Structure 1
Amino acid sequence: MTQSEFRRVYQADPEGVWAAPGRVNLIGEHTDYNDGFVMPFALPHTTTAAVSRRTDGLLRLHSSNAPAPVAELRIADLEPGTADGWTGYPAGVLWALRGAGHHITGADIHYDSTVPVGAGLSSSAALEVVTALALSDLYELGLQRWQLARLCQRAENVFVGAPTGIMDQTASACCQPGHALYLDTRDLSQRQIPFDLAAEGLRLLVVDTRVKHAHSDGAYGERRRGCEEAAAALGVVALRDIPHDELDAALGRLADDGLRRLVRHIVTENHRVEQVVERLEAGDTRAIGPVLTAGHASLRDDFRISCAELDLAVETALSSGALGARMTGGGFGGSAIALVEDAATDKVTEAITGAFAAENHLAPRVFTAVPGAGARRID
């Protein structure tokens, strides 16, 4: 499909096809821009890109998911604010690559994607990473996966203007099938933690509430600025530097209740990531359920980024038998996750669907998340 669409649009064969996945974050929300710990895994849902090089300084972009004429950009003119909508993400990647000193003379790209947009599953990171990997391969840049992630983050932060951390891009670039990625976002050290739920009679359900959000909206940036303000007030580089056993003392040094709430979430969330890693490595997967649920309460009450639909999904999942549940992603909409016994899958799914109908919400999309592969060349 991607190759044939490339031929239709550009009247030529692509030089190759690449894929990069969306992600689910198992635990570790908003900790990445605080130099903390996260634990995402890749979804089987991917963005694919058929790509060929150009030599005339043009970047031409087309997507099956956003029917429109081919967008044509001169790469010499790329600066923040010069590309609108979805095209800003791949344009930003090329801008970031060139800004890092890599010689790229243009490209024709056609995209197709199965990653739900606006669902908190990192559709933007998948778009960025597949572009970066394809250009790195075609132009023989020799970039490592963590370097691609850093450049993609710069594209999103500076070119697009969304103040995201490094988790999404690293997950899309680096995750492995059957594993969750335990990532230290300060130095990008990582461990692949086995996460084979099916072998244990478990499933992780994703509930896409279909409430759309954008990370570039002001509320996300406000949380990030508040965390930075709190870190400065506490005399640390980042909130990651507050040990969990020193949290109460740190909170006592802050007069602003809003900052106290932000600090409490980040410090306890880092601790929750470590708890999940310990329980998974000990083979006690079911015991991560209460940790996930505690994470949702923290995001709802301290970080205050949940919404009625997310809370309903979590509360209904728990009341119908889920072992644990929480919102996942940046918040203000998007998706929730629920850890369930395999035998309870239908019951939990039907309960959530019924609860949304009773509240006159849009019907949620519920599916099972299976840890997939990170970015790769597929043709």
Structure 2
Amino acid sequence: MIGTREDRVLELFAEHFGGRPDGVWSAPGRVNLIGEHTDYNDGFALPFAIGHRAVVAVRLRHDERVIVATTAPGDPVDTTLSALTGERIASWAAYPLGVAWALGEAHGRDRLTGFELAVHSDVPIGAGLSSSAAIECAAALALDELWSLESGRPALALAGQRAENTVVGAPTGIMDQTASLLGEADAAVFLDCRSLEAEAVGLGFERAGLEVLIVNTHVSHDHATGGYASRRAACERAADALHVVALRDASLDELRAARDDGRLDDEAFRRARHVVTENARVLDTVATLRDVGAAAIGSLLDASHASMRDDFEISVPEIDTAVEAMRSAGALGARLTGGGFGGSAIGLVPSDDIGAVADAVLAAFSRAGFREPTVSTVSPSAGARRER
């Protein structure tokens, strides 16, 4: 079997469509260093792109027919541009087709022609590393170039989010697509989810002798189901009770007052408290990275996990086990990363201790009788790009 991502997708393209594509584009998954469930609350987040990527090979057609194929489990889908109406699509094809629909909504369908698209991805599915955004952003970058739309990357991130919300049916924010499109090597993307302003913040992990260990628990999640939606609904309920546009505008004192006078029930209070304190932790992390360095952010990662576990209630026993094992074995800080209900945990670990911390995680999972996790390191990497 051909080895590289680009070769795999070209092999798939030739198998289904014959000949060569007009080009090959890729986009990465992401790890969120801190700032979970803040994006749809108009808050702040600090993700970074990773080396795992989705790759698409695309060729335009002279009619409106659209055909997409994948190396992952899932049948090819053969449809037309006019059939893409924004209705839910219950298959993997929702990601590239949703982006095509969103770009058509933004620019007008008369500017579009059909296309053939093959996709191969090595971003683990269901691991909290945003495999969906990687496909969306690779497809968006490709179609934007081939259709000569000149959207700009922030607009492509919005198209990916709209696809996710409408065609996939997952009520996610814009963080994942922004990280995938704007990521840089050795840097995180500091994102203001209200203004959509984003800037690179140097991480300096290698200089500090640190690495990010990621533990994929293989407990899968699906953001199109109820857990994620119910958390978002609770946040919106809290914002309405406080008469603010979003929880970005709320303070802890206002939350306590609303709880005490009965405007917020205990669940809505705790959900909102996570968002308000998480926004503060993102800002503190950015300031600490700039003023002190990466070795000083561990306590903020720990506090973030406690808030997700106790106030937002999106952790699971496997994630908590991974976090505690990493901390006990020498991680400076550790937390759930991604939307929760499974997926992955990250730990900020001195490079010399990586082996010992990884062994401690595996031993802890074995003792608990959990499925063996996949433990690896990830590095902050470049964002979406044309490959050839």
What whole-Å deviation, never above 9, does each CA across 1:175-230 have from its counterpart, x for those lacking one? 11110011000011112000121111111111110100011110110000110010
Alpha-carbon distance, 1:250 to partner: 5.0
Q: Which residue of 2 aligns with 1:377?
A: 386
What amino acid is the match of 1:279? T
Q: Which residue of 1 aligns with 2:72?
A: 65
Secondary structure of the corresponding residue to residue 196 of structure 2: coil
Q: Which residue of 2 aligns with 1:184?
A: 192
Query: What is the correspondence of 1:238-257 to structure 2 with a 5 Å cutoff?
Result: 238-243=246-251, 248-249=256-257, 251-253=259-261, 254-257=263-266
Q: Which residue of 1 aligns with 2:4?
A: none
- Asked whether the 8 Å contact 1:251–1:264 carries over to 2, the reply is no
Alpha-carbon distance, 1:82 to partner: 5.6
Quote the Cα distance in structure 1 between the aligned partners of 2:10 and 2:224.
32
Alpha-carbon distance, 1:362 to partner: 1.3
- Asked whether the 8 Å contact 2:49–2:184 carries over to 1, the reply is yes
Whether 1:159 and 2:167 are equivalent positions in the alignment is yes
Quote the Cα distance in structure 2 between the aligned partners of 1:376 and 1:148.
13
Alpha-carbon distance, 1:104 to partner: 1.2
Query: What is the correspondence of 1:139-178 to structure 2 with a 5 Å cutoff?
Result: 139-178=147-186
Whether 1:86 and 2:82 are equivalent positions in the alignment is no
Return 100-109 or 334-343, whichever deviates more.
100-109
Query: What is the correspondence of 1:1-379 to structure 2 with a 5 Å cutoff?
Result: 1=7, 2-66=9-73, 68=75, 70-81=76-87, 83-102=89-108, 103-243=111-251, 248-249=256-257, 251-253=259-261, 254-379=263-388
Alpha-carbon distance, 1:139 to partner: 1.0
Quote the Cα distance in structure 1 between the aligned partners of 2:377 and 2:287.
24
Return 143-152 or 95-104, whichever deviates more.
95-104
Q: CA RMSD in A?
A: 1.3
- Asked whether the 8 Å contact 1:34–1:238 carries over to 2, the reply is yes
Alpha-carbon distance, 1:79 to partner: 2.6
Secondary structure of the corresponding residue to residue 297 of structure 2: helix
Quote the Cα distance in structure 1 between the aligned partners of 2:30 and 2:149.
25
Quote the Cα distance in structure 2 between the aligned partners of 1:185 and 1:295.
18
Secondary structure of the corresponding residue to residue 237 of structure 1: coil
- Asked whether the 8 Å contact 1:93–1:151 carries over to 2, the reply is yes
Quote the Cα distance in structure 2 between the aligned partners of 1:82 and 1:199.
46
Alpha-carbon distance, 1:56 to partner: 1.4
Return 325-334 or 94-103, whichever deviates more.
94-103
Quote the Cα distance in structure 2 between the aligned partners of 1:361 and 1:376.
38
- Asked whether the 8 Å contact 1:242–1:250 carries over to 2, the reply is no
What amino acid is the match of 1:93? V
What amino acid is the match of 2:292? G
What whole-Å deviation, never above 9, does each CA across 1:121-143 have from its counterpart, x for those lacking one? 00000111111110001111101
Quote the Cα distance in structure 1 between the aligned partners of 2:292 and 2:266.
39
Secondary structure of the corresponding residue to residue 93 of structure 2: helix
Give the % identical residues.
48
The unaligned stretches of length 5 or more in structure 1 are none
Quote the Cα distance in structure 2 between the aligned partners of 1:81 and 1:144.
25
Quote the Cα distance in structure 2 between the aligned partners of 1:264 and 1:220.
17
Alpha-carbon distance, 1:243 to partner: 3.5
Return the TM-score normalized by structure 1: 0.97
The unaligned stretches of length 5 or more in structure 2 are 1-6
Alpha-carbon distance, 1:8 to partner: 2.2
Quote the Cα distance in structure 2 between the aligned partners of 1:99 and 1:47.
24
Q: Give the direction of change, closer, same or farther, for the CA distance of 1:255–1:76 in structure 2 (3 Å limit).
A: closer
- Asked whether the 8 Å contact 2:208–2:295 carries over to 1, the reply is no
- Asked whether the 8 Å contact 1:80–1:160 carries over to 2, the reply is no
What amino acid is the match of 1:212? S
Return 53-62 or 229-238, whichever deviates more.
53-62
- Asked whether the 8 Å contact 2:88–2:168 carries over to 1, the reply is no
Alpha-carbon distance, 1:251 to partner: 4.5
Q: Paired residues, what number? A: 378
Quote the Cα distance in structure 1 between the aligned partners of 2:191 and 2:74.
36
